[in-house]
Structure 1
């Protein structure tokens, strides 16, 4: 493993004393270092690939530039929408000189992360959750929600699904929920969005059913649904992955999509256009949210009070062949 380049290495490369190099690299305003000497130090540091050592900087009183992110419930980063938001947030924070470190899973109070000295902590947990409250006890820096307004964001996608299907003349709807227990809280929020929007539009009560992750199970679930509720004409899937299961089951059962059953997913999965038929879906533009959140995190890191920003509650439909 390559040895970390230190200020002593830079001093040898530049042919200067360690004290002089330290003054330059740390930007000590009390020392009057000639500009040619400063340039010599910086050139040597660049040649060697020197980077300041974070813990040592903090001991000298420098401000932390670390933003620590906890995402309980995303143990495997399988939620690609959340992962994309976090990746974009990291890019936006970099523009402010901050560095995002993301810890997956539920081990907020364990692991190497408790030894870090962040400027701000972000958590995907709700502010009322025990996990969020524990972080506020553990860290003396601002602890902020990573996905503020998440409930409205989740329900908003379901609202767009129902409005789209209704506009296509599909008034008797079903909600295809995932079978995984860990997704039930999110599925419940989306179900609320489906039923609330159906009520607002004067539609019959939608029907909820679970779609197993295996093809045979999905076939049995859809067959039972259509036998029990033969008037179902529109399907609001929890997300695109569940919608793929519905499309596969419909193909095996000979159910024509969209002629007999229109299907709409959520999240705009990259495989959606490759489905047969190509999957209609719902997406939300989170660009403004990410930029606003990065700005407020930077304010918190600087010691200012951040303002509240929320995820968007409106989504747009990407219509393809399945609806």
Structure 2
């Protein structure tokens, strides 16, 4: 491990549901990587740190440019699990010259973060990882797209169980992203469109065959996949309700359905459906996405430490590697 990565990763929101799950995932993937869990509740963060071992806790104040941290503290990366309306966490990472990963920014609210990078492009790597479950859907699409010579359309449907919204920070993200912009952006026949009402609704089959109604959702998956694949139509729909497992009387799960249409390698036209299910919900899937991204940024997998720049997950992480890690941590894949 390099001297750079001997410094701890600062996980802001590290005592929350997804932040703590990410810390545990990193501990399994990189046992020697030190971690610092940051949050408003020092006692809660400290309890998670003691459970992990090789970790400590700090109180973080996002209202302050220095995050309320002592001058002498040094970190190898900053991972954000809450919406930072001040963007002080990005500025802090830039000032320290370390990678920053954020997962709470919708497509329609990217501009302030991108502007910070444009003004200081050589300061730090900034990873925009607000795709569904930190890139799980986008990178899985790219992994399965290898079956195609050319993609025409990509439909991503996600079922988020109403009992699996997560903690207060996750609920606030969902409320903001679904209410701040009344319309959603999709790619339709090569043109970006804002849709609302019936045009924004779509009925799809969940993994148990039940028809559910979804709503178009403006996450980063659409722009990532448009740039990566050249598909002419891409949309992401979210259904908040009851997952298939809970309909069977079991605990909630999370579901992602990927439907790809295009020219297959043998020259025929085909439509292929892949289903991803995690029986413990969205948190462990998101945790793997962020942990794998941090590994890559720090040069602990897939190559040397990443240079300063503005990145999306699919530019840095090999899709097959993420799919393998998702399977190792309990995600089930099925081709229909």
Q: Is TM more than 0.5 here?
A: no
TM-score by length of 1: 0.38
Question: Which structure's CA Rg is the greater one?
Answer: 1
Larger relative contact order (C-alpha < 8 A, sep ≥ 6)?
2
More helix by share: 1
More strand by share: 2
